[in-house]
Chain A
Amino acid sequence: MNPIDWGVFALYFGGVVAFAWFQSRKNEGVEGYFLANRRLPWAAVGLSVMATQASAITFIGTTGQAFDEGMEFIQIYLPQPLVMVLLCVLFVPFFYRAKVFTAYEYLENRFDPKTRSLTSFLFLVSRGLAAGLVLYAPAIVLSVIMGWDETVTILVMAAVTIAYTLMGGITAVIWTDVIQMLMMFVGIGVALFILFTTLPSGVTVTDVAYIGGIQEMWTSIDWSWDPSNRYTIWSGMIGGFFLALAYFGTDQSQVQRYLTASSLKQSRLSLIFNAFVKVPMQFFILSIGVLLFVFYHFEQPPLVFNNAEVQVVMESERAEDYQALEVAQSAVHGERRASTLELLDARHSGDMARIADLQSTISGQDERLVELRQEAKAIVSEVRGASSNDVNYVFPSYIVKYIPAGVLGLLIAVIFAAAMSSLDSELTALSSATVIDFYKRWFREDASDAHYLLVSKISTFIWGVLACFVALYAGQLGSLIEAVNEVGSYFYGSLLGVFLLAFLWKPANGHGAFWGLVAGMGSVFGLSLVTEIAYLWFNVIGTVAVLAVGIAVSAFTGGRDGGRASPA
């Protein structure tokens, strides 16, 4: 990066910290620290909800995914507007009127302490590790692409985020999320604009759509019923619906956001805002990936985008095989570039016979390039002994090579913003669950507000340090983290089942909820061992299992025996 880029980057960091400090003066006590004294407007809450979900990997990973597989990933986001409606109708009124600090606190009001503690514990385990990955994933990408030291990148991101979260609690977090989300909007717009300007002169928007269409990159809806196919309209609308409902309705990092709104109406409006904006935003992020696919028809892409992986191969005995693939790729790319330019000429002059012929030629060349890339990735996997995943490197490697000075600093800042806006939310959510669901519930029930505020800040700091630790050692932890993450995906649907049982089934009791949760997680885990069902369906299975077992156990144990009155 040149001095202009560093200037933009420094401006971003300075602005975030100053703004957080300015906002932090308005907090009062623990309720101020965790819930901003319930006085924030819907627009700020809505943008924070969006920023929490959009991590750095959302920004750089989904563009890479669209580069490889097109727009089909958008289907997972399509049910989100409907999820927001269900949250407004069912979830938000229960949480808001119960005046709880955490989603799990509500479960004790409705069921019993063991259900609350188990759900909160599951949240702490999964989110505690996820907070580390939120730091690790962009840091490793930036270290490979920019040559930055991975440890320094992690520590700088973490130190700034921990500092402003400690200083201003949720108020600082939400208002910095607002800035960070607005930066992401600007970054998406700038990236799309720059991509268009770096195409050869004479290539129009319709040409871009056309070239992408030859390889079906714009295919956004897949009506097929194959349950092993990861992204179809059905897995998106059904599995994605349950996943989004579990995430927005039961994950403290999201619930905490809409509990900060100044009224139930403001809380609902923040979610309705997301209902209208989220899908178009994701459409534009994925479009960046398809535009990159088109862009690399004219510029030669690397065979594998992760330089670190390539270097390992070059030092192995498979180096010659890899180099042979690179030579082949270069030749096919040259031919495809010529064919593409010829096709655009034929298209502009209306030569239909030539168009059909060239389309077929380019389609074959596209497929050959995909094969070469897969062969190269297979070599990387063989040499490294782990699967190659360079999806996260596609967009960053483009911006480093082709983006002009100043704009590069902005886009790197956007990647940082995406990571930090997710991490800050995780820290406040982890801290609130630790203090409210465990410390205050089980250890010190009657301490002063000042005491809880101090413990909350200590808890935030400890979770921040833990996230750093996980991020710094994530490379070595490797398969352990993947395993924990995978297990995490097993209980999301089950958590949702417990909340639905609480809201929808009046005779349900604590025993039903607890054993339903255990059965839900067990059934998902068992099915994952014996079938190859796409992960999105696990959420549906988990939810249904909890409801079925929860209702049955509640009936056999005398109905609503130990639960307290529902606050709704």
Chain B
Amino acid sequence: MDDQDQRQEEDERGPIGIFPNWAAVYWSVVIYTAVLIAVLWIFTVVLNYSVR
């Protein structure tokens, strides 16, 4: 394993910013997507003033 590969292995294991690991980052994106859909749905319902 060369230096670059070793550095990448360390990247894989270490914390990612405020997140403890990559799995936490990915789950935050999944939750974020769900929140986006929910917010847009609320948006759709609340801002519908159609008289049809």
Contact = CB atoms under 8 A, between A and B. Distances in A.
Contacts of A265: 8, 11-12, 16
Contacts of B22: 88, 268
A214 interface: yes
A221 B40 contact: yes
What's the interface size class on A, roughly?
35 or more
A13 interface: no
Nearest to A75: B40
Contacts of B36: 78, 81, 279
A493 B25 CA distance: 27
Question: Does more than half of chain A's interface fall in helix, strand or loop, or is it mixed?
Answer: helix
Nearest to B5: A97
Given A88-B22, A264-B8, A265-B16, A218 B29 contact: no
A216 B46 CA distance: 10
Contact of B40 (A210, A220, A268): A220
B40 to A, nearest CB: 4
B33 A264 contact: no
A89 B37 contact: no
Contact of A215 (B33, B40, B44, B50): B50
Contacts of A79: 33
Contacts of A360: 51
Interface string B6-25: 01100110001000001001
Interface in A49-94: 71, 74, 78-79, 81-82, 84-85, 88-89
A74 B40 contact: yes
Interface residues of B, number: 25
B26 A264 contact: no
A89 B11 contact: no
A71 B39 CA distance: 13
A78 B33 contact: yes
A359 B49 CA distance: 8
Contacts of B49: 210, 213-214, 359
Contacts of B4: 263
Contacts of B11: 263-265
Interface centre among B29, B41, B49 (most CB of A within 10 A): B49
A497 interface: no
B29 A213 contact: no
Interface of B: 4, 7-8, 11-12, 16, 22, 25-26, 29-30, 32-33, 36-37, 40-41, 43-44, 47-52
Interface of A: 71, 74, 78-79, 81-82, 84-85, 88-89, 209-210, 212-216, 218-221, 233, 263-265, 268-269, 272, 275-276, 279, 356, 359-360, 363
Given A218-B43, A265-B8, 11 more contacts: A78-B37, A81-B29, A82-B29, A214-B49, A216-B48, A216-B50, A218-B48, A220-B44, A221-B41, A263-B7, A272-B29
14 contacts: A81-B36, A82-B29, A84-B29, A88-B22, A210-B47, A215-B50, A216-B50, A221-B44, A233-B37, A263-B4, A268-B22, A269-B16, A363-B50, A363-B51
**Which 7 interchain pairs have the tightest Cβ spacing?**
A265-B11, A213-B49, A218-B47, A220-B40, A213-B47, A81-B33, A221-B41
